[in-house]
Every structure is written in C-alpha cells, then in structure tokens.
Amino acid sequence: IVCPHWGTEYRLTSDASQEKWTKIFAENGADLVLGTHPHVIEPIEWVTEEESNHEMLVYYSLGNFVNWTSGTGEGVANRMVGGMAEVTITKDDHGEVEIADYGVKPMISHVASGPEGVTTYFLEDYPEELAEENEIVSQDPEFSREYCVNLCDSIWGDLWKTE
C-alpha cells in the first residue's frame, strides 16, 4: 500500500507526475495507492502493469478529510468534498492477497460560525438545509448538497457509496 503526497492542487484529474509515479508503483508490485495533496477529489481506477500484468487500484486523490479555506470564487466548493476509501482486502484459496471490494464514501466539510467551527459529515448524513448554512456558500455560491452529489458522480461514477 502506497500513500503518496502528489498531484496538482485543485485539479480534478491526475497529472503527468501522478501518471509517472503510478507506473513506477505498479512496476514495483504495489497493490493499492491512496493519494493525497490536491485538496480535491480525483478519479479511482485500476492500472495494469504491462510486462507482469500486475493490477493495482489507484485512488488518485481522496480530497480533504476536514477543510476550511480562505479562498473565494469558482472551484472553492470542490475543496469541501472528500472521500474515505473503502477497501476490502482478503486472501484467496492460495494465500494470495487480493482486493475483494472497493469504493469510496463521500464526506463534506462543514464550516459553521461559533463553537461548532469546522466538522465533517458523510454526504448521506448531510441534508440540503445544512448545506445552505455552510459558511463556504459566501465564498462560492455554487456550493450545495446537490453540487457535492454531482461532483461525486462526475469524478467517481458508481464507485461512491452512501451506506
């Protein structure tokens, strides 16, 4: 398992450096990559190493687990969505380790004034009414629960889990 700090801040797709390192990790037998750093979510995909046919699961970026940003404008809402990787690792009948199941559970950073401050909710537990109270709306009016759902759909497709 490799946990690299990589990628381009605020970019919703992998970059050339991530692609280069992904190849290196696969060539060296890594089975799972859990990426961090870009402050936004990025795709999840299987990568197959060409010579050995070794398969590796790559989470390019899980986004922010907890976030408050002083930025304003377009794209700030993207920084409020993160993900918790859900990976089931088992051994097959021959004792070989394999990834039996995988997905991602979306999380939302909520910014409130007062003693509550910043906290994180699973998207499934984050109603639109609460999203409307998130102070990030004043920094990026695009932010809403629906925006977060659409972002997860766009980046993760059917891999994101709500339960």
Q: pTM of the predicted model, to two decimals?
A: 0.93
Mean pLDDT, rounded, of the chain: 94
What 22-31 contacts at long range (C-beta under 8 Å, 24+ apart), as own/partner pairs, is 22/47, 22/56, 22/58, 23/47, 23/49, 25/56, 26/54, 26/56, 27/51, 27/52, 29/54, 30/1, 30/2, 30/56, 31/1, 31/56, 31/57, 31/97, 31/99
| Mean pLDDT within 35-47 | 97
Percent of the chain with pLDDT over 70: 96
Contact present, 125 and 116 (Cβ < 8 Å) = no
Structural domain contains residue 86 = yes
Structural domain contains residue 6 = no
Task: Decide which of 67 and 39 is more confident.
Answer: 39
Q: Number of folded domains in the chain?
A: 1
Structural domain contains residue 9 = no
The full DSSP string for 50-68 is TTT--EEEEE--BB-SS--
Structural domain contains residue 11 = no
Helices (H) and strands (E) in the chain, counts: 3, 6
Domain range spanning residue 118? 16-159
Of the candidates 97, 72, 130, 8, the one whose C-alpha atom is nearest the C-alpha of residue 120 is 130
C-alpha to C-alpha distance for 159 and 25, rounded to whole angstroms:
22
Contact present, 20 and 4 (Cβ < 8 Å) = no
Structural domain contains residue 69 = yes
> Per residue in 50-63, pLDDT tens?
999 999 999 999 99
> Per residue in 66-125, pLDDT tens?
888 878 888 999 999 999 999 999 998 999 889 999 999 999 999 997 666 899 999 999
Structural domain contains residue 2 = no
Structural domain contains residue 148 = yes
pLDDT at residue 11, rounded to an integer: 97
Structural domain contains residue 5 = no
